[in-house]
Amino acid sequence: MTTKNMVALCPDGRISVSTKSNGGREVVDIDSYIPYLLVAVNNTLSRGASQYYLEYFGVGIVEWRVISMLAIEPKITASRICDVISLDKAATSRALKQLQDKAYASFKTSSSDNRRKIWCLSNKGYRLHDKILEIALEREKQLISGISPTDLEAFLRAMRVMLKNVKKI
């Protein structure tokens, strides 16, 4: 069976079930319901990272995500940050303002549109990025501990497909 066929068959050919019976009523089975598991892992991971980054670096997880995007794509607009990391405009704006106030980031006005700001990290911002990145990568190592490389790659492939699919929902 090809990968393409497996993707098409998965909803009906799924091995685990998203629901269970509770007193004769069908309810979500949080051990198998994918949206719950994704949210639970993300929220727990983000909350821990935010607490750590705030305590040691004075920035939270939202600011870290913005810093990370500014390092990935220097000279980026707030709108592009929102699109790539699925962050709302208000949170992105607050994070950029905080990073600017702390001299981690700055902007230049676009030559084609005075209302459009092009953001980039300062040298101080890159130094902060490098420090947090080291910790973030260590946290990722701990997160995937005990997962076989084959299972991890299958998970990453599945997550990439789900990311494409969620945009269609």
The structural domains of the chain, ordered by start, are 59-166 (1.10.10.10)
What are the tens digits of pLDDT across the range 102-154?
999 999 987 777 778 999 999 999 999 999 999 999 999 999 999 999 999 99
Going from the C-alpha of 82 to that of each of 29, 86, 91, the distances in angstroms are: 32, 5, 9
What are the tens digits of pLDDT across the range 25-58?
999 999 999 999 999 999 999 999 999 999 999 9
| pTM of the model as a whole | 0.85
Indicate if the pLDDT at residue 8 is higher than 80: no
Of 137, 61, 64, 46, give the one whose Cα is nearest residue 104: 64
To 10 degrees, the CA torsion angle through 145, 148, 152, 158?
-130
Average of pLDDT values for 4-22? Answer: 73
**What pLDDT, on a 0 to 100 scale, did the predictor assign at position 11?**
66
Q: Which helix (H) or strand (E) holds 128?
A: helix 123-144
Indicate if the pLDDT at residue 1 is higher than 50: no
Indicate if the pLDDT at residue 97 is higher than 80: yes
CB 67 within 8 A of CB 121: yes
Instruction: State the Cα–Cα distance between residues 105 and 102, nearest whole angstrom.
Output: 8
